[in-house]
Amino acid sequence: MGCAASTETGFDPAHPYELHPDVALRNEPFGALAYHYGNRRLTFLRSPELVRLVGELGAHGSVTDSMAALGISEARQPSLVRALASLASSDVVRPRASAPAPAAGGQDGG
């Protein structure tokens, strides 16, 4: 039961990302459930901090900027980047063309 390696996915925190439009988030005490209506996969986001970050991705020009906007400490950033890389590999988040999205969030529910 190996852990996903971020290097395999080509995930780059200097690039802009967004929540995949086919994904809905449902908040839970441990973070959130993410359901991908396209590939029918359910993914657990296992920290509220990660959920906030995913919600903020669309509003910034890079993942790093999103983390800065949320005031996430440098010590915490590597584990969040690994988590995002894993979410990217399962298509929960995806790369976005560089212009910031009009507004963060916008998923049904949450």
Question: Under the rule (CB under 8 A), what is the footprint of another protein?
Answer: 1, 3-4, 24, 26, 28-30, 33-35, 37, 39-47, 50, 79, 82-83, 86-87, 89-90, 92, 108-109
Least Å from the CB of residue 16 to another protein: 21
Q: Dihedral of the CA atoms 106, 22, 6, 53 (nearest 10)?
A: 10
* Residue for token pair 């839970």: 28
* CB nearer to another protein: pick between 28 and 106: 28
Least Å from the CB of residue 90 to another protein: 5
Least Å from the CB of residue 50 to another protein: 7
**Angle between the 77-89 and 48-56 helix axes, to the nearest 10 degrees?**
70
Farthest-apart Cα atoms in the chain, separation: 39
